[in-house]
Chain A
Amino acid sequence: MADTGLLESLLRLVEKVDGGIDSQDVAVSLGVDHQAIVGAVKSLQALGEVISAEQKSSKHWELTGEGCEIAEQGSHEARVFNAIPAEGLPQNQLMKMQSGKVGFSKAMSNKWIRLDKAHEGGPRVFKTVETIEDTVRDKLQLVQKGQSAKLEEKEKNELKKRKLLAEVTVKSYWITKGSSFSTTITKQETELTPEMIASGSWKEKKFKPYNFEAMGVAPDCGHLHPLMKVRTQFRQIFLEMGFTEMPTNNFIESSFWNFDSLFQPQQHPARDQHDTFFISDPALAHEFPQEYLERVKKVHSEGGYGSQGYKYDWKIEEAQKNLLRTHTTAVSARMLYKLAQQEKFTPVKYFSIDRVFRNETLDATHLAEFHQIEGVVADYGLTLGNLMGILHQFFTKLGITKLRFKPAYNPYTEPSMEVFSYHEGLKKWVEVGNSGVFRPEMLLPMGLPEGVSVIAWGLSLERPTMIKYGINNIRELVGHKVNLQMVYDSPICRLDS
């Protein structure tokens, strides 16, 4: 708290004026530093509505160090002029003066002095006029007295260029009387203490009002990552819908499970080096369910199960190649194969949310790894209408009710549908996922009964999260370049609101 004397002097000044006073003027009239007045204003503000103070900033001109010196001792050119006696002064001697160099050229251009180069004993400088008027000094003195308004803009800029003047910004307060203005100061209590409660002294005390405009103190806590918060919600939705989680904790997969088992031909572009990360160590998978592998080979190369097949030379070497899985559907394939090995088929609903990898070109929305959300239902007699119905329920839980479906192509589903939802903000239909019915060429070699249909859909976790949290660059969300402040500040995730 600033000293009470100063506070009361300030208050008395404010009392006298109508309409308020500038803190700079207060400083001048009380003869104290402006900073002390600023301190006093803050102290008074803390006492409640004694005064009201509005911050404002003003610009004014001030002399630089050199400017002060000139205001006191005269301009360099005047000092040079004054140093020259009637008989003149050798130039080299003049140049040794502190103001010599600048003063000489200025005085020359003012035509106050002349240089006789041919003078015997070296060049010599002579006065050319009797008296001079040191306007630079006069102008600076005006500024010093706070009368800079008397100078023209051009003159001020000229002096600024010579580094004699500087324009400075001063933050000051416009002080007016507050609603509970008084010229005397009553000390207010800040907080209730145990002693006051014990003694009852709180009854006589006046408490400082709280500033309800200020923010509270941030609690000391940890934070969950936004993408993981969204993952938790998607997990919750699947669990609410009765889906069982698949074990997707195997990033390394064989081409067999990632592609061949899904009836994706060996020349398919997705199996290119350009699209998929292959593994050099351990390069090959070494164990496959042999009978099933033979059936997969046959359906690719010759067909069967009502299919023409792809009619090409299927190679085990291609199927053995290890890779970083390109989709979690590789796990769905393993799970469906496992299901087919059961004594008796039982309907299942599976889901997973986990990482997948693509050796693709990276940009603001694509990384080499992302999370795939996948749902799978296997039962007798499922229809395309069922797939749409279940997608409708799923997306309703995400707060998306307007859906439509576009025919699409996917090597392992037939029919395949892209899922579009109407985006109210963009006023257009946007793709929100992919779906389809697994092909018989995938299911029947596994040993699933003929009448069983398997419907499935997938979407990425990153895209809805970026939309939810308003993030444009995926690197700000996923990976080490994340902005932790964003993590700290991100709200809880409710997908349906």
Chain B
Amino acid sequence: MPTVSVKRDLLFEALGQTYTDEEFDELCFEFGLELDEITSEKDIISREQGDEKAEGASDVVLYKIDVPANRYDLLCLEGLVRGLQVFKERMDAPRYKCVSPANGGEPQRLVITEETASVRPHAVAAVLRNITFTQERYDSFIELQEKLHQNVCRKRTLVAIGTHDLDTISGPFTYTAKAPADIRFKPLNQSKEYNATEIMSLYKTDSHLRHYLHIIENEPLYPIIYDSNGVVLSMPPIINGNHSKISLNTKNVFIECTATDLTKAKITLDMIVTMFSEYCEEPFTVEAAEVVYPDGRLCVYPELAYRTETLSGDFVNKKVGIDESAESIAQLLTRMCLRSEVSGEGDHIQVEIPPTRSDVIHACDIMEDAAIAYGFNNIVRSTPRTYTVANQLPLNKLTELLRQDLAAAGFTEALTFALCSQEDIADRLGKNIAEIRAVHISNPKTAEFQVARTSLLPGLLKTVAANRKMPLPLKLFEISDVVLKDETKDVGARNNRRLCAVYYNKSPGFEVIHGLLDRVMQLLDVKPGRNQGYHIQAAEDSTFFPGRCAEIFTRGKSIGHLGVLHPDVISRFELTMPCSAIDIDIEPFL
């Protein structure tokens, strides 16, 4: 969930009202936000870098507000204020307009060349005319781009934003792709020119930019945008040029978004212009720009598309569980920036979805907004009449019953991890990983998560090792799932429910573990015997001490092993005493 940090006093000023922390928290809760933290720059620095560094930092109160991941329109102060003011019916949602340049001027044009196809094929653009920045607005403008980059732009992989002082450059602009050695410019806030290869190595150690290098690093051609005089605007998705850098005095802003996903690029552009056109001479008005595709197609951006959905009051009432008139539902929706009116046809409501609400893609999204405006906690809680009979999963029922009786038999239940290292299930048990039908994880952060376990035994032995201080004997069991590769399943693997127990003491206690097997079989109503019953038979298994291992059969089918563990296995788990164990599949007893 993205967190937006805003200055409290600035927020209250914009809302035209001051709140206590509790009151504001309550407002957030109702609207679906979360006041996550109340802090200040000073607090943050002193927490991260110590009190000394924090000396002199600002102690202006900051609100950190958690915003739902699909509400890009709430990622800056401007959007938050607009959303809350409309919600509290203190203002009407603005209408965003895309206009042609004043005085019949030519629109700015961005021409895409075909070289971009292989690396980053899409681009959209727009112009904010006669904007007035203040330090706060400027900071918010930069911060919003960063938030969008982190969220809808998926860390710049889908979309990268570049904003430029239009008065320092001249169109038409060309979006192309070139070999790194052929790109040369002075990057943002640098004092000299570099070629693209040098730029990439320059930012290898940059705490912020190094995370984006991988996006184009291995591409033969890098995306690049020039103006008509060959001035570099940006090398997306890495860095802008220094030449067109915006400042507090910038009056006209050229915005370009390059992308691998056109839908997301349009959303991103819409968000920036709807949020910041507020500060233009003519508020909420955006100047259109043209984008020409390699095939000659010409598109005009930003789209700022309004869409109308029609739904019935009855639909909303039935889904939410309220009983409101169509008029009052329309009013609820209008408070959520979804301008609505009753169409006159039955209880039909016409709902207008503004370009800021890209999250509304279905009538159910509209219904939710009605419920939020109504107040989730004002909805009457009622019990559904759904009549059903409960059933337990037979495998879990068997597991529950066996667990109780294993504890009654004096064994204590362990709960171990389903993921472990290759070593745990192979080397340490005296087995070869190549011969185990284990499921392997491709992206483990540590060796603890290399494979899904194929046996419960390593987990139990590690539990014993972590509890060597406890009085002997240690008698542990676990009934849980292991995972085995299985071609016959759609995903190529299946779980297998197993029962494993260990006895750890000064003497091996084979008879104890054997006795446990007899008890388990008694509980499962399987009698000793070769054909219809169970029996054990000497076996060789590298986990066990030679001559001290037997395979367990029920109704002629092998279900597992029991025996005294091999001394090497014991040592590999950092244990010092003899240990016996049983490991069986319980699924045949369903």
Contact = CB atoms under 8 A, between A and B. Distances in A.
A287 interface: yes
Q: Which of B413, B463, B497 has most chain A Cβ within 10 Å?
A: B413
A143 interface: no
B321 interface: yes
Interface string A481-493: 1111101100000
B320 interface: yes
Contacts of B71: 409
Interface stretch (B57-65, B127-135, B400-408, B547-555): B400-408
Nearest to A244: B391
A162 to B, nearest CB: 41
Given A279-B441, A484-B467, A285 B490 contact: yes
Interface in A457-483: 477-483
Interface in A304-335: 305-312, 322, 324
A379 interface: yes
Interface string A381-396: 1111110111011000
Given A223-B413, A254-B491, A409-B70, A392 B481 contact: no
Contact of A245 (B391, B418, B443): B391
A415 interface: yes
Interface string B33-72: 0100000000000000000000000000000000011110
A252 B412 contact: no
A238 interface: yes
B70 A222 contact: no
A50 interface: no
Interface in A269-315: 269, 273, 277-288, 303, 305-312
B445 A389 contact: no
Nearest to B376: A405
B389 A242 contact: yes
Contacts of B29: 404, 406
A409 B418 contact: no
A273 B449 CA distance: 14
Nearest to A439: B364
B400 A348 contact: no
Contact of B34 (A241, A244, A308, A406): A406
A347 B492 contact: no
A389 B320 CA distance: 12
A83 interface: no
A480 B475 contact: no
Interface in B96-121: none
B83 to A, nearest CB: 12
Nearest to B444: A277
Interface residues on A, range: 35 or more
A283 to B, nearest CB: 7
Contact of B485 (A282, A308, A309, A312): A282
Interface string A3-43: 00000000000000000000000000000000000000000
B490 A414 contact: no
B452 interface: yes
Contacts of A310: 263, 361
B318 A383 contact: yes
A246 interface: yes
A308 B361 contact: yes
B419 A222 contact: no
B589 interface: no
Contacts of B364: 414-415, 437, 439-440
Contacts of B371: 384, 407, 415
A408 B68 contact: yes
B495 A249 contact: yes
Nearest to B359: A409
Contact of B387 (A253, A347, A440): A347
A232 B407 CA distance: 14
A414 B368 contact: yes
A453 interface: yes
Nearest to A283: B442
A322 B493 CA distance: 10
A363 B235 CA distance: 38
Given A441-B362, A482-B415, A385 B491 contact: no
A227 B441 CA distance: 26
B416 interface: yes
Contact of A222 (B389, B390, B411, B491): B411
Interface stretch (B338-346, B377-385, B521-529, B531-539): B377-385
Interface string B424-463: 0000000000000001111111001100100000011011
A250 B494 contact: yes
A379 to B, nearest CB: 4
Contact of A277 (B32, B441, B466, B492): B441
Contacts of A324: 419, 441, 452
A382 B495 contact: no
B581 interface: no
B136 to A, nearest CB: 28
Given A251-B483, A487-B412, A359 B445 contact: yes
Contacts of A254: 490-491
Contacts of B359: 409
A177 interface: no
A384 B412 contact: no
B216 interface: no
A247 interface: yes
B90 interface: no
B460 to A, nearest CB: 8
Contacts of B400: 232, 235
B381 A279 contact: no
A45 to B, nearest CB: 28
A222 B516 CA distance: 13
Q: Which of B407, B483, B493 has most chain A Cβ within 10 Å?
A: B493
A397 to B, nearest CB: 13
Given A324-B452, A369-B419, 19 more contacts: A220-B410, A228-B413, A228-B415, A242-B387, A245-B391, A246-B393, A249-B497, A250-B489, A273-B443, A277-B444, A279-B442, A306-B362, A311-B263, A359-B449, A368-B449, A385-B382, A388-B381, A407-B371, A414-B362
13 contacts: A221-B410, A224-B413, A238-B390, A249-B495, A278-B442, A281-B485, A286-B490, A310-B361, A405-B376, A406-B29, A407-B368, A415-B376, A480-B417
Interface of A: 220-225, 227-228, 232, 235, 238-247, 249-254, 267, 269, 273, 277-288, 303, 305-312, 322, 324, 347-349, 355, 357, 359, 367-369, 377, 379, 381-386, 388-390, 392-393, 404-409, 411, 414-417, 437, 439-441, 453, 477-485, 487-488
List 10 A-B pairs, minimum CB-CB distance, nearest first: A385-B321, A383-B321, A407-B32, A282-B492, A409-B68, A480-B462, A280-B442, A415-B368, A287-B490, A222-B407
